């Protein structure tokens, strides 16, 4: 036999422990009154040939040698965790850290590789803008001046709402009865209140209502109203438009860009009376004769009710301009404005723009459209910072250049930072396991 082999004499198992059966003569034997409860059926073991097992340390003698109960995950990683008296008390902690790290890594790492694809838009020019900041989320030739058809009536309604009182009564001119395009049916000489004219202007795109509002301008009539339209557009931050007609007909020189229309759409939504009109599926109307009717919204993005959160705003069409639309939608506390000009599938284009816009956030270097209204005067700590500072995070005291550069990088790439956080959790879990093993 080998060096460690030996013949083990038979043992007698007793509650006090193993006793050698081959005692010397004269040694006292076990007491006859010794209880036999708990003895196995076979107390006498024959001599066998076995290898000597190394003795266990005193600290672990008497501990159970079977596999410890607890986490199955730890039982499969015996190299990391051994069943000692200290480790068995908190053997669930490394498993918990490892599970959390795996969960974060699994959710964060695939997100870094998935980014929203650009929207499929058929229009010649289009833009989608974040209404809160004016930041452009996606655009196609957004500053190209083109024909815009009846989306012109957005600016017409803004000028009339800001300068005429709600109860002002206006006389229908002869030019309104003869105007080309869509007419509601006003007759020359009728007296119509401002709110009734705005209702037909925005819901059914009535050109005779636009001409009535323009002709009542106190300083210069229709020509003065068009000058007021140009001044209001410049005041709101429009840079690419020239206005020559209150209805949106193809007048020489009458042009606007998708960017300017997005600015005007946001400005209309800031006026409660106009926002309520463009966001309604239908509105009641009373004729001068007293007959009452209900007008449906010609804008199917709102009128059909297929798009939850739709806020309006206005559609248009002429043969040369094609189909045009300025739309707004609100989801999860965010409001976006989308403009589509010259499209045969304008509603599909708008939905594609919103589908993309609500998946992304404004970039740090995004273009800002228009002039945002000044925040209300309040306490210094309640004053809102400028829109550019709200995007970049430069609020309050100016940070150090290093901190500012790091914050800009984090804001520009939130998804990779989430992936990095998941990897860090995985490393922490592995370190926790090694630490528990040591």
Query: CA 368, CA 139: separation in Å to the nearest integer?
Result: 12
Residue 400 catalytic? Answer: no
Three-state secondary structure call for residue 17: strand
Of 153, 232, 241, 323, which residue is the catalytic one? Answer: 153
Residue 363 catalytic? Answer: no
Query: CA 254, CA 146: separation in Å to the nearest integer?
Result: 8
Instruction: Report residue 127 as tokens.
Output: 């833009």
Beta strands in 118-205 (DSSP E): 125-130, 136-140, 169-171, 191-193
Instruction: Report residue 363 as tokens.
Output: 């970039």
Question: Are β-strands 48-51 and 5-8 bridged in parallel, bridged antiparallel, or unpaired?
Answer: antiparallel
**Bridge-partner residues for 327, per DSSP?**
313, 338
Residue 281 catalytic? Answer: no
C-beta separation of 135 from 363 below 8 A: yes
C-beta separation of 127 from 258 below 8 A: yes
Query: CA 251, CA 71: separation in Å to the nearest integer?
Result: 79
Query: CA 121, CA 23: separation in Å to the nearest integer?
Result: 100
Query: How many other C-beta atoms are found inside a 10 Å radius of the C-beta of residue 285?
Result: 17
Of 150, 161, 247, 280, which residue is the catalytic one? Answer: 150
Of 69, 165, 168, 205, which residue is the catalytic one? Answer: 205
Q: How far apart are the first and last CA of the chain?
A: 38
Query: Which residues have a catalytic role annotated?
Result: 150, 153, 205
């Amino acid at each position: 036999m080998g060096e460690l082999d030996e013949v083990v004499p038979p043992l007698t198992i007793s509650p006090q422990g193993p006793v050698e059966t081959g005692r010397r003569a004269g040694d006292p034997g076990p007491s006859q009154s010794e209880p036999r409860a708990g003895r196995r059926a076979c107390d006498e073991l024959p001599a066998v040939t076995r290898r000597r097992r190394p003795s266990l340390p005193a600290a672990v003698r008497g501990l159970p040698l079977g596999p410890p109960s607890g986490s199955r995950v730890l039982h499969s990683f015996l190299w990391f965790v051994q069943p000692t008296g200290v480790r068995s008390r908190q053997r669930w902690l490394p498993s918990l850290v490892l599970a959390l790290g795996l969960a974060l890594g699994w959710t964060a790492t695939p997100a870094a590789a998935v980014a929203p694809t650009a929207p499929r838009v058929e229009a010649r020019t289009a833009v989608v803008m974040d209404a809160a900041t004016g930041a452009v989320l996606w655009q196609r030739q957004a500053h190209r001046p083109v024909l815009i058809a009846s989306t012109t009536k957005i600016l017409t309604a803004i000028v009339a709402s800001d300068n005429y009182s709600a109860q002002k009564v206006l006389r229908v001119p002869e030019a309104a009865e003869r105007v080309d395009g869509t007419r509601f049916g006003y007759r020359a000489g009728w007296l119509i209140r401002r709110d009734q004219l705005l209702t037909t202007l925005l819901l059914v795109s009535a050109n005779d209502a636009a001409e009535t509002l323009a002709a009542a301008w106190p300083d210069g009539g229709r020509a003065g109203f068009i000058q007021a339209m140009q001044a209001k557009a410049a005041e709101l931050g429009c840079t690419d438009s020239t206005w020559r007609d209150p209805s949106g007909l193809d007048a020489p020189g009458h042009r606007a860009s998708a960017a300017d229309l997005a600015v005007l759409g946001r400005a209309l939504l800031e006026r409660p009376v106009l926002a309520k009109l463009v966001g309604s599926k239908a509105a009641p109307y009373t004729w001068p004769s007293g007959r009452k009717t209900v007008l449906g919204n010609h804008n199917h993005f709102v009128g059909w009710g297929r798009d939850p959160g739709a806020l309006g705003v206005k559609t248009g069409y002429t043969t040369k301009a094609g189909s045009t639309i300025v739309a707004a939608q609100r989801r999860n506390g965010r409001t976006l404005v989308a403009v589509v000009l010259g499209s045969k599938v304008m509603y599909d284009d708008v939905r594609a723009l919103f589908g993309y816009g609500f998946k992304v956030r404004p970039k740090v270097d995004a273009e800002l459209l228009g002039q945002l209204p000044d925040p209300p005067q309040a306490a210094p700590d309640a004053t809102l910072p400028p829109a550019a500072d709200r995007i970049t995070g430069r609020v309050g005291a100016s940070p150090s250049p290093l901190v500012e550069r790091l914050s800009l990088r984090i804001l520009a790439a939130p998804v990779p930072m989430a992936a990095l956080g998941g990897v860090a959790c995985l490393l922490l879990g592995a370190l926790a396991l090694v630490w528990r093993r040591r």
